[in-house]
A and B are shown apart, each in its own frame.
Chain A
Amino acid sequence: MSEQPLVIIDELKIDVRLTRAKRLPIVDTATFDVKRGEIIGLIGESGSGKTMLCRSLVGTLHRRGAYIASGKLVFDGIDLVAAKGAQWSEIRGKQIGYVPQSALAGPNPVMLIGAQIEEAILQDKNFPKSKVKERAIELLNIVQIRRPEVVMHQYQHELSGGMKQRVMIACAIAQQPQLIVADEPTTGLDVTVQAEIMRLLLSIRAEFNTSIILVSHDLPLVNQICDDIVVMHAGTTVEKIPSKDITHAKHPYTRALYDSRIDLVEPKGKLTTINGQPPTVGSWPAGCRFSEWCNFVRDECRVPQTMPIIPLGPDHYTTCIRYTELDK
């Protein structure tokens, strides 16, 4: 298969404008592809730049004073770095759906749920008005909301967290987009609800062959449904790895993340943690950004600019120069 990937992100660098003269790198750099129908898990701690990376895909970086400084960002053959207003309005909501962070948001509080879904449907200017209601109920059925006729006439504060997120997913898939960007869609939800939402995303992929970028800091959760995992640390994508290989990660940070999970089925006794605080934006170490927390660190890791992308397979790369020694 030599099919073009749906999304190509290549050495993408995002800066945030602090003052007129001062800029701060916030993503530096990100590299990965998303194939059609693929679910990518984008994993990282808070402040690792995952949200900003998502915003660059939906064109709302400027709202946070950020912009793409360099690199390549291509969606379905369209260069998103150079995309202007008119192009964005063709892409947003139609070809890229967005599911916001569950903890912060949800549907618009001053609009009925039905009105919002209908709004999402009517982004397609040619959609027949007479069928909007029918389609809205159909969408609510797809996201497995019971009694959709009732929910249509409710406001967001009358819904539970999981329901809100289902509604957001319904809005996101209204135009059957090729890509859904879900920014921590299950943070703060009940574990059972988390699993349901994940299952829902899987079924949507199965039905519409939608690519999904699933942002999370919960590696074990995401690992269950993703094809590939992209791990971000301090603004860099440090490793891309097929999720079935996660136990053989070739970057110490990925290992540390995976080892620090709490396994309820087979308790390990002692809980592994990453010592110290994650680096804050603007004070990243020179050289490998994980060097200060890494057990395998050597002097050569601290040489500035040492985070080469080392391909290990078709969907696997690491940026650790000592990856061969991790298993010794």
Chain B
Amino acid sequence: MQKGNQLTRKIIGRFLRAISVAFWVMVLSFVMIRVAPGDPASARLGPGAEKAAIEVLRKQLHLGGNPITQFFSYVNELIHGNLGVSLQDGVKVVDIINRTLPITIYLILLSTLCALIVSIPIGTYIGWSGKGSLVYGFRGLTAIFLATPNFFIAMVGILFFSVRHNWAPVFGYDNSFPQNLHYLWLPVAVNTIILSSVISRVLFSSVSETKDEEFVETGIIRGVGRRRFFWFYILKPSLAPTVVLLSYMMGTMLGATVILETVFSLPGIGRELVGAVLTSDYPVVQGILLYFGVITVLLSFIGDLIAYLLDRRVKI
């Protein structure tokens, strides 16, 4: 009875911390874009626009005035679920995000799934066997993938699969579900390679640590069956660091996939964000960063929670 309470209290505490982080992400995103150089009005009117015209537009867009009052009106709008409209073309920020976010999420979720399918067997097998030659080859190969920039791997992929064999489109996207895989499989594959290199390495080192632990020996001597042994004595005690890392990486990938989106010309949210920053499109930048922040915080909350449920030694 008491134990259940303790667990709930821990989870609630962790959740409150997540919310407070999300709040500070919102504040920071508001401040940062305003500190950065650039002016939305002059960006919208283009180079060589008259000063007077810029001033008029600035007034129209409510860009003048006290930043603190601006912040409070931003928060006020936010509470009412209003992220504002783009300063460049007047499109609702929510619509922009709804259009571009799913593409990026698809990319991240698919590559995470593939990376797990690839890394778990490889990482555990090599960690458990501990064979010198195998470990050497594994370390070398993953080091190569980690040292190579993802756009380079992406371009080699395009040259091979798109240009030479025409198995993948060079650019474009289709929003409906099975069709979009046609456009996504190559970027997903590239991302999977890099992600698996990281994840399998972490899992490898956890498993090679776990296997020398005394309780593993006890399990062998107890005569635990193969499947049970694999889950309860190898994978489960080793998985927590991987889960935490993965949840964190999935969050940072939201922004980091901009490179892949650019190389493969995918209309994802990363590209949208870069465009908005370049034109000082405050509401769009704020909106996207807020989404990123909340998603990242939520993911790491879920990651910590799963890690804790797997292994009670983890602190949350």
Judged by a CB distance under 8 angstroms, whether B233 is at the interface is: yes
Contact residues in B for A104 (Cβ distance below 8 Å): 213-214
Extra contacts besides A58-B221, A96-B221, A171-B218 (13): CB < 8 Å: A59-B221, A98-B218, A98-B221, A100-B215, A100-B218, A105-B215, A108-B233, A108-B237, A109-B312, A123-B223, A123-B224, A157-B312, A157-B313
Contact of B217 among A100, A107, A111 (CB under 8 A): A100
> Which residues on B are within 8 Å of A, measured CB to CB?
3, 213-215, 217-224, 228, 232-233, 236-237, 310-313
Q: Is B215 in contact with A109, judged by CB distance below 8 angstroms? A: yes
A-B pair count, CB < 8 Å, reads 69
Contact residues in A for B219 (Cβ distance below 8 Å): 108
Complex interface residues of chain A between 139 and 176 (CB less than 8 A to chain B): 153, 155, 157, 168, 171
Q: Is A92 in contact with B223, judged by CB distance below 8 angstroms? A: yes
Q: Is B311 in contact with A109, judged by CB distance below 8 angstroms? A: yes
A198-237: contact bitstring with B at CB < 8 Å (1 yes, 0 no)? 0000000000000000000000000000000000000000
Bound-state CA distance A101–B214 (Å) is: 8
Contact residues in A for B222 (Cβ distance below 8 Å): 92-93, 98, 119-120, 123, 171
Chain B binding surface SS class:
helix
Number of chain A residues whose Cβ lies closer than 8 Å to a Cβ of chain B: 28
Q: Is A110 in contact with B214, judged by CB distance below 8 angstroms? A: no
Q: Is A155 in contact with B3, judged by CB distance below 8 angstroms? A: no
Q: How far is the CB of B241 from chain A (nearest CB, A)?
A: 13
Judged by a CB distance under 8 angstroms, whether A316 is at the interface is: no
Between A and B, 20 residue pairs with Cβ closer than 8 Å are A60-B220, A63-B217, A93-B222, A96-B221, A98-B221, A100-B214, A104-B214, A105-B213, A107-B215, A108-B215, A108-B219, A108-B232, A109-B215, A110-B232, A110-B310, A110-B312, A111-B236, A119-B228, A157-B312, A168-B218
Q: Is A110 in contact with B221, judged by CB distance below 8 angstroms? A: no
Q: Is B215 in contact with A106, judged by CB distance below 8 angstroms? A: yes
Q: Is A105 in contact with B237, judged by CB distance below 8 angstroms? A: no
Q: Is A111 in contact with B232, judged by CB distance below 8 angstroms? A: yes
A50-84: contact bitstring with B at CB < 8 Å (1 yes, 0 no)? 00000000111001000000000000000000000
Q: How far is the CB of A113 from chain B (nearest CB, A)?
A: 12
Judged by a CB distance under 8 angstroms, whether A94 is at the interface is: yes
Bound-state CA distance A237–B224 (Å) is: 32
Given known pairs A100-B217, A110-B310, the reply for A94 and B223 (CB within 8 Å) is yes
Shortest Cβ distance from A115 into B: residue: B232
Contact residues in A for B214 (Cβ distance below 8 Å): 100-101, 104-106
Bound-state CA distance A157–B213 (Å) is: 15
Q: How far is the CB of A158 from chain B (nearest CB, A)?
A: 8
Judged by a CB distance under 8 angstroms, whether A89 is at the interface is: yes
Shortest Cβ distance from B218 into A: residue: A100
Q: How far is the CB of A186 from chain B (nearest CB, A)?
A: 15
Q: Is B223 in contact with A93, judged by CB distance below 8 angstroms? A: yes
Bound-state CA distance A153–B6 (Å) is: 14
Given known pairs A60-B220, A63-B217, A105-B215, the reply for A155 and B232 (CB within 8 Å) is no
Q: Is B312 in contact with A105, judged by CB distance below 8 angstroms? A: no
Q: How far is the CB of B99 from chain A (nearest CB, A)?
A: 43
Q: How far is the CB of A150 from chain B (nearest CB, A)?
A: 9
Given known pairs A100-B215, A105-B215, the reply for A119 and B312 (CB within 8 Å) is no
Contact residues in A for B215 (Cβ distance below 8 Å): 100, 105-109
Q: How far is the CB of B228 from chain A (nearest CB, A)?
A: 7
Q: Is A92 in contact with B312, judged by CB distance below 8 angstroms? A: no
Going nearest first, the 8 A-B pairs with the smallest beta carbon separation are A105-B214, A93-B223, A93-B222, A98-B221, A92-B223, A104-B214, A110-B236, A58-B221
